[in-house]
Amino acid sequence: MADANKTTSIAQRKLAAEAEAVLDQMYAYFTREERPRPVMSELDARRAA
């Protein structure tokens, strides 16, 4: 494994690290816990308007 890192260029390793970071962000986004949103009643909607 250490030999594989020596044969890849810095640019290739940077690109791979950036791609990994994007995948981590996407995974975190799609697996996040969503907080329940309060439902606005019809009466509250009329008052807000």
Query: The pTM is what?
Result: 0.50
| 25: nearest Cα among 17, 13, 37, 34 | 17
Q: What percent of the chain has pLDDT over 70?
A: 67
**Dihedral Cα 9, 27, 25, 6, nearest 10 deg:** -10
Write out pLDDT tens, residues 19-35.
999 999 999 888 887 76
Q: How far apart are CA 2 and CA 44, in angstroms?
A: 63
pLDDT top residue among 5 and 24: 24
Residue pointed to by tokens 């020596």: 6
In the chain, where are the structural domains located?
Answer: 10-48
- Which residues, 6 or more positions from 13, have their beta carbon under 8 angstroms from its beta carbon? 5
Q: What is the mean pLDDT of the chain?
A: 80
